[in-house]
């Protein structure tokens, strides 16, 4: 099963989701990420955070949803809502859910404040991904409606 983490810039949240998902994924599950308007780079703080968590940063780069290596089965949008950010709508016959996370790249202030925003985004995504993998996926992947309900519930997890 291919999961696409989608946002606008593909420099922070969707990369954090993709890398964390792939780090935790059981056999047969794979994540990718993309943006509707990719920034063209991965935010350095995302890479530092992933490395600090023991998650490989090799091969991750900001990319457009026009160049996906595989067709997704599930699309998870991660755009936030507090800044009035509009999530891109992926077209295609896929299961969609929205796991909104505020963009740490837009946080201003001291290094400590900015780092804390990145850690918060990562922690929320990791908790949701862990909850996803705790689901009875072998059963749910054959019942898309039930899987959608569960994934929508996971969207409410905040740490």
Structure tokens at 29: 């599950």
| DSSP-based three-state secondary structure for 76 | strand
Residue 154 is given by DSSP the state: H
List, by residue number, the catalytic residues: 7, 79, 87
CB atoms within 10 A of CB 60: 21
End-to-end CA distance of the chain: 27
Q: How far, in Å, CA of 101 to CA of 119, rounded?
A: 12
Q: How far, in Å, CA of 4 to CA of 17, rounded?
A: 9
């Amino acid at each position: 099963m291919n999961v696409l983490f989608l946002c606008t810039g593909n420099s922070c949240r969707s990369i954090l989701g993709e890398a964390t998902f792939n780090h935790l994924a059981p056999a047969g599950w794979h994540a990718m990420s993309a943006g509707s308007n990719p920034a063209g780079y991965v935010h350095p703080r995302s890479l530092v955070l992933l490395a600090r968590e023991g998650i490989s940063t090799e091969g991750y780069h900001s990319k457009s949803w026009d160049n996906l290596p595989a067709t997704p089965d599930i699309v998870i949008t991660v755009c936030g809502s507090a800044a009035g950010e509009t999530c891109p709508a992926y077209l295609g016959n896929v299961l969609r859910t929205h796991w909104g996370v505020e963009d740490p790249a837009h946080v201003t202030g001291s290094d400590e404040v900015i780092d804390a925003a990145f850690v918060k985004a990562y922690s929320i995504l990791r908790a949701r991904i862990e909850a996803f993998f705790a689901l009875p996926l072998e059963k749910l992947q054959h019942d898309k409606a039930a899987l959608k309900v569960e994934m929508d519930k996971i969207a409410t997890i905040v740490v």
